[in-house]
Chain A
Amino acid sequence: MAGRASLIAIALILAALFGVAFANSSSPGDFGITLLSGLFQGMLLFLVASGLSIVFGLMDVLNLAQGSYFMVGAYVAYDAQHAGGVIDLTSVLPDPNLRFIGAVLAAIAVGALLGYLLERGLLRPLYSRPIFQLVLTFGVSLVALELVKFIWTTTPYSWTELFGVRESFFELFGQRFSTYRLFVVGMGIALIVAIGLLLQRSRIGIIIRAGVEDREMVQALGINVRAVFTLVFTLGCAIAAFGGAVAAPFLGASTTLGNIFLLQAIAVVVLGGMGSYSGTAVGSVLVGLAIAVAQDTAIGTAFAALPSITPMLLLVLVLLVRPSGLFGKS
């Protein structure tokens, strides 16, 4: 659990973010939009960072290809939703709402399959060589990028195929809020709770938490740790691809998605405390909110780069107070 210093740090960051957001807002609705946008970005970040964090904690592998799974998820979902792509679902599922569900499932399946292949095929022989793993996963991210360019060209795609929840709005404090953002935030929170329950309550969760502490002992108890590695890695990649798929209707599909989310997710994981699940969940929300506040602040000023450097600024600030991250063990 986080110590008192961490809880104070979290409270101070939240207070500062809310303060700036409030100062920037002209109305409560404005403030609400910044908040929802922050939570939306935080949840997308969580979907990349959770896999990164659990895999790092359990396997000591920093998967630099994690962002690529997010990007691939976005492309697969885009492709499946729109007519004329590689996976054309328009004739099988003419209803765009159902097709979106199909597109998300397709992205999860592709993410899981590619994750499984990476772990079993390439990563497994390199568990005793940490530097090689970094080079390998970085190399895989480059290959993934080139493959995406080859299959879908370099032109970014904007989402054009409309479906119910994507288009609807609701009104609060005289402002129109996108239902889709709320839907993604809801999904994200549900997933945070579901993964948390899996880690706390299930046997596989106990094995993962024990493995984070001492893999060798878990093995000596008769548990096949390698099989658990494969499962966790595959799940992590599937979740990242799911993130890309639900982000695509808003952000579209582009080749830069992978790197942007990877860098921000690494900031989240370090800020939260390497290998700590709660840290990753809290870190995602803080970084997401900080980016939204920075985007709001940067509008109409010369600091256009503010949102993109905000995660790192926040990270530096936290590490100055807590060198092992908010929930990390000192």
Chain B
Amino acid sequence: MSSILEVRDIHTFIGQFHILEGVSVSVTTGGITVLLGRNGAGKTTTLRSIIGLTPPARGSIHFDGKPIQGRQSHNIAQLGIGYVPEHRAIFRSLSVRENLQLAERRSGDFARKADFIFDLFPDLKRLIELPGGNLSGGQQQMLAVARALVPENRLLLIDEPSEGLAPVIIEQLIAAIQRLSSQVSVLLVEQNFRVASKLAQSYVIIDEGHSVAAGAMADLVQDKALIQRYLGVA
């Protein structure tokens, strides 16, 4: 199967700290790949390196076959990559509508996608004029994912969507991400192994700044030793 994103052996520094010391990730077109690993392993930095917020010093990143490392963040996003960061980064003083309109890359993007977005997250329709800061954690997470769906993105980078959310909200999000993955490829960071195993077809494990294992999610679920060793869950 062809891959939409190929990250090869990237090294990223934040200040003087060598955070990523060789991470490789491949995301299959039309699939969900999950980055697994303990806290501080480098999963978030991997997503930030791809979108250009912490550009890698070495290694290569190809999106749709073209190299994107070294480009500025907004240029990378414009190629069709949506970023849903950890803690959502909703603009609190902007209304839900403005949050969504801000993500437009061409005029009318939001209007074209509104039906799909409201079908996926019906709550947002009701909250459309409220300031982002007034939304609950779960609603903000839905808005953050919806925002990444406004332009014609082909890849979504989603960081810890289930963090801090109630189980019922997590179930809604899982359903939504499963549905949207029919339209876009997804690279997901997820600490919650149960959520990760439900969603993803393939995985990459990152440990202390290195990618140490990768393969099909169905195989990982059977491999208790690998899970125990790198993720500390059985």
Contacts and interface: CB of A to CB of B under 8 A. Distances in A.
Interface of A: 203, 206-207, 209-210, 213-214, 216-225
Interface in B85-100: 85, 89, 91-94, 98
Given A203-B101, A216-B53, A225-B74, A209 B85 contact: no
A213 B77 contact: no
Interface of B: 51, 53, 72-74, 77-78, 83, 85, 89, 91-94, 98, 101-105, 147, 151
Given A217-B91, A221-B147, A222-B151, A206 B101 contact: yes
Contacts of A223: 74, 102
A210 B94 contact: yes
B63 to A, nearest CB: 13
Contact of A220 (B53, B98, B104, B105): B53
Contacts of A210: 91, 94, 98, 102
A209 B53 CA distance: 20
Contacts of A218: 102
A222 B91 contact: no
A220 B47 CA distance: 11
Interface of B is mostly: loop
B102 A207 contact: yes
Contacts of B102: 206-207, 210, 218, 221, 223
B74 A222 contact: yes
Contacts of B103: 221-222
Contacts of A222: 74, 77-78, 103, 105, 151
B147 to A, nearest CB: 7
Contact of A214 (B89, B101, B147): B89
A201 to B, nearest CB: 10
A219 B72 CA distance: 9
A217 B151 contact: no
B83 A220 contact: yes
Q: 7 nearest interchain CB pairs?
A: A222-B77, A217-B89, A220-B83, A219-B73, A222-B78, A210-B91, A224-B74
Contacts of A217: 85, 89, 91
Nearest to A217: B89
Given A219-B73, A220-B74, A221-B102, 8 more contacts: A207-B102, A213-B91, A213-B93, A214-B91, A217-B85, A221-B74, A222-B74, A225-B74
A213 B88 CA distance: 13
A214 B104 CA distance: 17
A141 B72 CA distance: 32
B92 A213 contact: yes
B51 A220 contact: yes
Contacts of B89: 214, 216-217
22 contacts: A206-B102, A209-B93, A209-B94, A209-B98, A210-B94, A210-B98, A213-B91, A216-B53, A216-B89, A217-B85, A217-B89, A218-B102, A219-B53, A219-B72, A219-B77, A220-B51, A220-B73, A220-B85, A221-B77, A221-B83, A222-B77, A222-B78
A220 B73 CA distance: 6
A207 B89 CA distance: 14
A54 to B, nearest CB: 14
A28 to B, nearest CB: 42
